[in-house]
Amino acid sequence: MSVTAAKGFRAVGLAAGIKCNGAKDLALVVNDAVAAVSAVAAVFTVNRFAAAPVLVSREAMALAEGGYSLPRAVLLNSGGANACTGQDGYDDAKQAAGALARRLGLKTEEVLVGSTGLIGERLPMGRLLAGTHQAVVNLGATEAAGLAAAEAIMTTDTVPKTAVATGAAGGYTIGGMAKGAGMLAPALATMLAVITTDAQIDNPTAQQALEQACRLSFERIDSDGCMSTNDTVILLASGASGNQPEPQEFADRLTAVAQDLARQLIADAEGAHHEVSVTVTGALTEDGALKVARGIVRSNLFKTAVAGGDPNWGRILSAAGTVPPEDAPFEPNQVDVAINGVTVCRHGGVGEPRHLVDLSGRQVDVVVNLNAGPSRATIWTNDLTHEYVSINADYPS
Amino acid sequence: MSVTAAKGFRAVGLAAGIKCNGAKDLALVVNDAVAAVSAVAAVFTVNRFAAAPVLVSREAMALAEGGYSLPRAVLLNSGGANACTGQDGYDDAKQAAGALARRLGLKTEEVLVGSTGLIGERLPMGRLLAGTHQAVVNLGATEAAGLAAAEAIMTTDTVPKTAVATGAAGGYTIGGMAKGAGMLAPALATMLAVITTDAQIDNPTAQQALEQACRLSFERIDSDGCMSTNDTVILLASGASGNQPEPQEFADRLTAVAQDLARQLIADAEGAHHEVSVTVTGALTEDGALKVARGIVRSNLFKTAVAGGDPNWGRILSAAGTVPPEDAPFEPNQVDVAINGVTVCRHGGVGEPRHLVDLSGRQVDVVVNLNAGPSRATIWTNDLTHEYVSINADYPS
């Protein structure tokens, strides 16, 4: 159901000719409610080479935070990232936002924009603007419209990603879509995601909930350690249900939707044959557990071993051992490692025989117990396969 | 010529049956000079899961620093890393050092040890000890003996790595060997290296020279971002030339030998089709330049693009953009990128057409000019290929 599941939203996805292959490449999501009952929140990449659409959307969000305007439409394209395109690229993004705003009767700063695709190329603005006009005509509130939007933001994704949840007692709905299969790492670990809700919330509640949701979802997956220039997660609220949820309850439901989308991203990560969870337990702090888990999921040697069905726990420990002691205190000779339930390493040394580990299934669960404290954290990743190399060696440029 | 090029050294490499395939797997390097004119220096991995031989060798070096003894022999094996093997593994390493010491008339703490191979398995001590006895009998000062030692430390290396240089006016000689093809990243970026010299120097001069040499060689290559548990670089000085070089001159010659070995490691890195230099210029500090260069060479997306012959500069900038501003101040819209001499990115935006870049050769030179200061640094790496995945998915465990 995606972004049209919640009341008060219309969406569309179509082929505007931005991609060479004729696939869908342009999506709109529009909140039809008036500003007074609407809310908006957004989280962006922290990459210093933030793409032009990120710069334009950040400006719009800054105005929204100041109370000057309230973004209620999102224009997204695949087929080009509009990143590292200088002033020209910025002007392109601004022009696209302005064109959509005029068609919807909004101000330019009430439109957010997002792009994904190759870095360092201008967008074909003629096709994008013509496609935008066409898209406004085709906006719809149906399930099909929401699905088409999710399809239009795909790049190397093989399936669209959507998720839906309902609030307490069915009082409101949250629905979302996301794309991302490579350049997938915190923070964020996605490329583009739009989530809509008909809950009636204010901007600070929306922003706080979205930050919690991202922290526990998109920022806990890491496919290839590569941070994108275009990462954008947007939450639009229409208030159309009339339901005003308790903020923490709303944040938790939103987190569930974001986690659902995040897991779908990892499951469809470029070339992945295994989905891998790395859980670090027994850490002094959650942050320390996260740092050790991130060290492990960034190891190409660990990830190629998983691809080869090899429970090579030495590569897990050698990666964990690169985390500075001040970041995560532990004693190397106290660390246990279990892979799919077999404790192959005990107290930093040899444990159960590694041949007992079954890696024939798609799911691989690694648990590293630091035996140094009460905290834990999980990062989701995938294996590093021949297909990953093929996809990224041959990505068109 | 390797470790036997300098006067006063003998070496040997043979098959002790540690590897299953019958290849050479045991090497000795012996300094025949008396302690009074000898010197020793060593640099070890900073991985917290340091292998047993690293622990044993560190203890020996601590005693040497205290003036209690002076290590003059090195026992190296491939076919097993003796890492994450607990107290048993430590006892094994100590026993091996003791066995060699007795045969050579040295104290146990006058023998350094190093191992490379699979993590998390005990060494076959019977074969290793028998091989050590045999090796002592076969020690020789010939070129062939030095080459055999270089061959005996190979794992996934396809060729042995050796290098030789002579000091000012030919007054002394430095020769070395190294192995390493994967788990190759600072610090260090090797697995095992032994360098010998007949220069007459003291321990502090040797250590200072070795640290400079490592900083400018092994710590400036990064094949796969994975830090080993066993990295060890050892320098043995026999004083046999009678030549007492000026310390900085010696350090510079030693650095040249280490850089030669380091480049050979990258050239033979697992599955590499391209050798890649990433030079960051215009940085405020050398450390900042290094941090940006390291960010780039750790990007799987950049390295798969090189494998595919794709001058995808967007992946270079997106990797550079992950370095925190406090680590390397620069303005994104001031950054230029040249690939093999073509400035494909100018001022953070589109530069010369990317199709002008020729990536058909083995060498790829990337220059990123931050335009933010006077400093520069280079890191050497290689591309990420199908063969890398094959080698590491199928590495026996």
**Range of weakest confidence among A308-312, B27-31, B106-110:** A308-312
Contacts 24+ apart (CB under 8 A), B138-141: B138/B12, B138/B14, B139/B10, B139/B11, B139/B12, B139/B28, B139/B30, B140/B4, B140/B10, B140/B11, B140/B12, B141/B4, B141/B9, B141/B10, B141/B11
Put simply, whether A395 touches B (Cβ < 8 Å) is yes
| pTM, rounded to two decimals | 0.83
The 10 Å CB-count burial string (b at 16+, else e) for A318-347 is bbbbbbeeeebebebeebbbbbbebebbbb
pLDDT of residue A190: 54
Check if the beta carbon of residue B153 is closer than 8 Å to that of residue B115.
no
**Active-site hit among B190, B197, B378, B381:** B190
Res A189: pLDDT = 47
For residue B278, give how far its alpha carbon lies from the nearest alpha carbon of chain A (Å).
17
pLDDT of residue B189: 47
- Asked if B329 reaches chain A (Cβ–Cβ under 8 Å), the answer is no
**Residue corresponding to tokens 């794709």:** B310
Residue A198 tokens, joined? 């008909």
- The answer to whether A266 and A354 are in contact (CB under 8 A) is no
Buried b / exposed e along A151-176 (16+ C-beta atoms within 10 A):
bbbbbbbeebbbbbbebeeebbbbbb
Q: Do B318 and A225 lie within an 8 Å CB cutoff?
A: no
Kindly identify which residue of chain A lies nearest to residue B304, measuring between CA atoms: A393
The C-alpha torsion from A207 through A212 and A218 to A220, rounded to 10°, is 160
Residue-wise pLDDT for B334-359, tens only, equals 999 999 999 999 999 999 999 999 99
What distance in Å separates the CA atoms of residue A52 and residue B281, rounded to the nearest whole number? 25
d(CA B156, CA B268): 9
Q: Taking residues B281-286, report their average pLDDT.
A: 97
Between A131-140, B155-164, B187-196, the lowest mean confidence (pLDDT) is in B187-196
Cis peptide leading into A184, omega within 30 of 0?
A: no
Chain B contact for A118 (CB, 8 A cutoff): yes
pLDDT band at B385 (very low <50, low <70, confident <90, very high): confident
Peptide bond into B188 cis (omega under 30): yes
Could you give the CA distance from residue B252 to residue B217 in angstroms, rounded to a whole number?
11
Contact B69, B111 (CB under 8 A): no
Among candidates A193, A176, A196, which has minimal Cα distance to A239? A196
Band (B183; pLDDT cuts 50, 70, 90): low
- Subunit contact B388:A385, Cβ cutoff 8 A: no
- CA–CA distance, B386 with A389 (Å, rounded to integer): 6
Between B24 and A299, name the one with better pLDDT.
Answer: B24
Q: Do the Cβ atoms of B349 and A85 come within 8 Å?
A: yes
Nearest to A227 among B314, B318, B395 (CB): B318
Q: Is the pLDDT of residue B188 over 60?
A: no
Residue B209 has pLDDT above 90, yes or no: yes
Minimum-distance CB partner of A228 among B305, B318, B348: B318
DSSP code per residue over A291-351: HHHHHHHT-HHHHHHHHTT---HHHHHHHHTTS-TTTS---GGG-EEEETTEEEEETTEE-
- Rounded to whole angstroms, the Cα distance separating B61 from B43 reads 10
Q: If we measure between CA atoms, which residue out of B354, B378, B226, B384 comes closest to residue B292?
A: B378
- Binned at pLDDT 50, 70 and 90, residue B322 comes out as confident
Interface of A with B in 28-67 (CB under 8 A): 47-50
Q: Does A285 participate in catalysis according to the annotation?
A: no
Q: B273: which residues sit within 8 A by CB, 6+ positions away?
A: B307, B362, B382, B383, B385, B387
Indicate the helix (H) or strand (E) that contains B363.
Answer: strand B363-369
Q: Between helices B300-307 and A386-393, what is the axis angle to 10°?
A: 70
| The pLDDT of residue A395 | 58
Distance CA B109, CA B98 (A): 8
> What is the overall mean pLDDT for chain B?
92
- The pLDDT value recorded for residue A105 is 96
Instruction: Give the per-residue pLDDT at A224.
Output: 72
For chain A (397 residues), the mean pLDDT of every run of 10, in chain order, is: 93 96 96 94 89 95 94 96 92 98 97 92 96 97 96 92 91 93 54 93 96 90 77 94 96 95 86 92 96 90 90 90 91 94 94 94 96 94 86 66
The pLDDT of residue A186: 47
Among B121, B226, B321, beta carbon nearest to A318? B226
| Residue ranges of A 254-313 with Cβ closer than 8 A to chain B | 298-301, 304-305, 307-313
Which residues in chain B have their CB less than 8 angstroms from residue A89's CB? 349
Q: List the single residue in A with minimal CA-CA distance to B117.
A: A314
Report whether pLDDT(B151) > 90.
yes
Query: CA of B227: how far to CAs of A246, B47, B176, in Å?
Result: 47, 7, 22
Q: Where are the alpha helices (DSSP H) in B268-360?
A: 286-297, 300-307, 313-320
Tokens of B260: 């030669």
| Residue with the two structure tokens 């068109």 | A396
